[in-house]
Amino acid sequence: MIEPILPAYVVAADTRADLLDGPLFPEEEAVVSRAVGRRRREFTTARVCARDALRRLGRPAAPILPGPAGEPLWPDGVTGSITHCAGYRGAVVGSLADAAAIGVDAEPNEPLPDGVLAAVGLPPERGHVGGLLRAYPSIRWDRLLFSAKESVYKAWFPLVNIRPSFEDAQIDVDPLGEFTARLMAERPLVGGHPLDVLSGRWLVADGIILTAVVVPAAGKAY
């Protein structure tokens, strides 16, 4: 489902259903040993997806454990991102030779709860969302902005190892399926050059908003 917004050099595996028949590695099992219900299902299904994607990238199965800030720890030479929401679970992986970082996020195409847009959106972003909601009301642009910020965070954090906050990136959503994030805090270095802008893409399908940010390795394009 998420493939159309990804470059060909990364691999995605996603599902609308829970895939609980894939065994967890003992280290992964330890992470969710006290989790029940939704958390266990989403964690397990995302690992099944991640291993399917790794296999298609030509990499062996490996545990995908959370790092100190919750970030997924990928095997050497690999980067990737995981997302889950009601009705969707997915993982995207790529070789570090192709992608310096990846961030993906899924959200229901439903309004954000009251107060969230005001909390996470910068004034220009909120103005833009208002205009898009009037012009294209079938898409929840407030939720799409939120999802874009989540994808930006997931790609940005592993590059700088600092947790950015919502006001640290200004998102500009293009109604045709792309977005940019202008970084106003710690800029990542890729190929020795600081990045001021991250690029992303989005789509809405079957009630799910999907966003992706891919930071290409030096010499590659999104």
Ligand X SMILES: CC(C)(COP(=O)(O)OP(=O)(O)OC[C@H]1O[C@@H](n2cnc3c(N)ncnc32)[C@H](O)[C@@H]1OP(=O)(O)O)[C@@H](O)C(=O)NCCC(=O)NCCS
Part in contact with ligand X (CB under 6 A); list of ranges 11-19, 81-89, 135-143, 190-198: 81-89
- Give which of 100, 85, 94, 81 is closest to 159, Cα–Cα: 100
- Rounded to a whole number of angstroms, the minimum distance from the CB of residue 51 to ligand X is 13
How far out from the chain centre does Cα 176 lie? 19
69 binds ligand X (CB under 6 A): yes
- Rounded to a whole number of angstroms, the minimum distance from the CB of residue 186 to ligand X is 11
How far is it, in rounded angstroms, from Cα 46 to Cα 59? Answer: 17
Q: For tokens 């906050």, name the residue.
A: 165
State the burial class of residue 7 (Cβ atoms within 10 Å of its Cβ: 0-12, 13-18, 19+): middle
Among 4, 66, 124, 194, interactor with ligand X by CB under 6 A: 66
How far is it, in rounded angstroms, from Cα 208 to Cα 169? Answer: 23
Among 83, 125, 179, 202, interactor with ligand X by CB under 6 A: 83
172 binds ligand X (CB under 6 A): no
- Residues of span 148-167 touching ligand X by CB under 6 A: 149-150, 152-154, 157-158, 164-166
Part in contact with ligand X (CB under 6 A); list of ranges 10-18, 79-87, 129-137, 211-219: 79-87
211 binds ligand X (CB under 6 A): no
Instruction: State the amino acid at position 89 in one-letter form.
Output: R
Q: Where are the alpha helices (DSSP H) in the chain?
A: 26-31, 37-56, 116-120, 123-135, 141-160
How far is it, in rounded angstroms, from Cα 136 to Cα 131? Answer: 9
- Rounded to a whole number of angstroms, the minimum distance from the CB of residue 56 to ligand X is 19
State the burial class of residue 1 (Cβ atoms within 10 Å of its Cβ: 0-12, 13-18, 19+): middle
- DSSP annotation of 113 reads P
- Rounded to a whole number of angstroms, the minimum distance from the CB of residue 67 to ligand X is 7
105 binds ligand X (CB under 6 A): yes
SS3 label, residue 200:
strand
SS3 label, residue 107:
strand
- Rounded to a whole number of angstroms, the minimum distance from the CB of residue 30 to ligand X is 14
How far is it, in rounded angstroms, from Cα 105 to Cα 91? Answer: 10
Among 5, 10, 169, 204, interactor with ligand X by CB under 6 A: 169
71 binds ligand X (CB under 6 A): yes
- Rounded to a whole number of angstroms, the minimum distance from the CB of residue 219 to ligand X is 24
- Residues of span 4-43 touching ligand X by CB under 6 A: 43
| Interface contacts to ligand X, rule CB under 6 A | 43, 46, 66, 69-72, 82-84, 105, 149-150, 152-154, 157-158, 164-166, 168-169
